[in-house]
Amino acid sequence: MSPYSAYAQAITIESHLDAGAERSLADDVLDGLTRPFKELPPKHFYDARGAELFDRICELPEYYPTRTERAILEDSAEEIAEITGAVELVELGSGTAAKTRVLLDSLHAAGTLRRYVPLDVTEAMVRDCARELTAEYPGLRVHGVIGDFERHLDRVPASEGPRIVAFLGGTIGNFPPGSRRRFLRQIATLLGPEDYLLMGTDLVKDPHVLEAAYDDADGVTAEFNRNVLLVLNRELDADFDTADFEHVALFDREHEWIEMRLRARREVIAVIRRLDMEVRFEAGEELRTEISAKFTPERLRGDLAAAGLDLAHWLSDPDGLFALTLSRAPDR
């Protein structure tokens, strides 16, 4: 047997994104671009180019969340392995699983790790990381789920023993408050009595630090933001010119979240041929493309409690920039 076929046997990939995915983009555009305040959900950023731009964002000096979460993981991965005794790691919005390796290392070293279940909307990321991780961790099985975590959580395979469900990077902040609690309740259904949710959340801090993290000097975040227009051009045969839109990132102090928007530099009339529609932006009109909520410990505890989750461990960095929490679902 070639080494490649040994890896291939360790890999199962399920895809739930077909016509449904295209439909979801079309529905989100029909709904979001015809509202009085235009809006699109952030999941449409992540085509291959968007995923690459996000990787570049993670390396930027202004974007502290990735390196801070990694440092917390490095400091506490052994403790997490000890507390959880996890045989499997399910990861929602797994991306390239770069930081996940820190956790996989400690679970592997503890001798408990058997299976990794990445779930992501970007197909190539799930496939690539399944290939890489089965090569890097002998004996590891990877069951990849290509899908939308808001629609396909029920496709996560049944657990094989104590599990960690990881939701890293602060992605929970990309949900508005009501959906956030609903989504946490859905995550709780993946947790049995021995299981833990390991979640990364970005914390409230100086607005200048926050705004710089979402408006970097090299303009990478601006490109990431405008990329959603290129997704619409390709997938829905639209004719947006990205140069017509300015990147805006603002910290909303009342809601304690960053908002990313695209502001029309002039009047824009775009045609979206596949939906047989025209969208008009007045000069200066904005399209909201993302919120990224920042948390206080009280707010996070409240959201978790509303979803029936008990915050069991709080892990943070010395400057209190970011938090990793371990929570349980006591009633399940």
Phi-psi region of 234 (alpha: psi -120 to 50; beta: other; left: phi over 0): alpha
Contacts 24+ apart (CB under 8 A), 181-187: 181/303, 181/306, 181/307, 183/149, 183/150, 184/303, 184/304, 184/306, 184/307, 184/309, 185/306, 185/307, 185/308, 186/153, 187/92, 187/153, 187/307, 187/309
N- to C-terminal Cα separation, the chain: 43
Among residues 47, 88, 105, 120, the one that binds ligand SAH under rule CB under 6 A: 120
The mark string for 242-281 relative to ligand AVI (x by CB under 6 A, - otherwise) is ----------------------------------------
Per the CB < 8 A criterion, the answer to whether 76 and 105 are in contact is no
Q: Which does 95 bind (CB under 5 to 8 A by kind): ligand AVI, ligand SAH, none?
A: ligand SAH
Residue 169 binds ligand SAH, judged by CB under 6 A: yes
3-state helix, strand, coil in the chain (%, to 5): 40, 25, 30
- Quick one: 114 or 205, whose CB is closer to ligand AVI? 205
- Among positions 17-76, residues that touch ligand AVI (CB under 6 A) are 57, 65
Rounded alpha-carbon distances, angstroms, from residue 25 to 199, 201, 231, 244, 332: 27, 27, 9, 22, 34
Per the CB < 8 A criterion, the answer to whether 253 and 94 are in contact is no
Q: Which amino acid is at 297?
A: P
Q: Which does 214 bind (CB under 5 to 8 A by kind): ligand SAH, ligand AVI, none?
A: ligand AVI
**For ligand AVI, which stretch binds (CB under 6 A), given 68-76, 129-137, 167-175, 264-272?**
167-175
**For ligand AVI, which stretch binds (CB under 6 A), given 28-36, 97-105, 168-176, 181-189?**
168-176
Q: Which does 24 bind (CB under 5 to 8 A by kind): ligand SAH, ligand AVI, none?
A: none
Residue 214 binds ligand AVI, judged by CB under 6 A: yes
- State in angstroms the smallest separation of the CB of 140 from ligand AVI: 25
Chain residues binding ligand SAH by CB under 6 A are: 43, 46, 54, 66, 93-95, 99, 120-122, 125, 148-150, 168-169, 171
Chain residues binding ligand AVI by CB under 6 A are: 57, 65, 169-171, 173-174, 214, 221, 290, 292
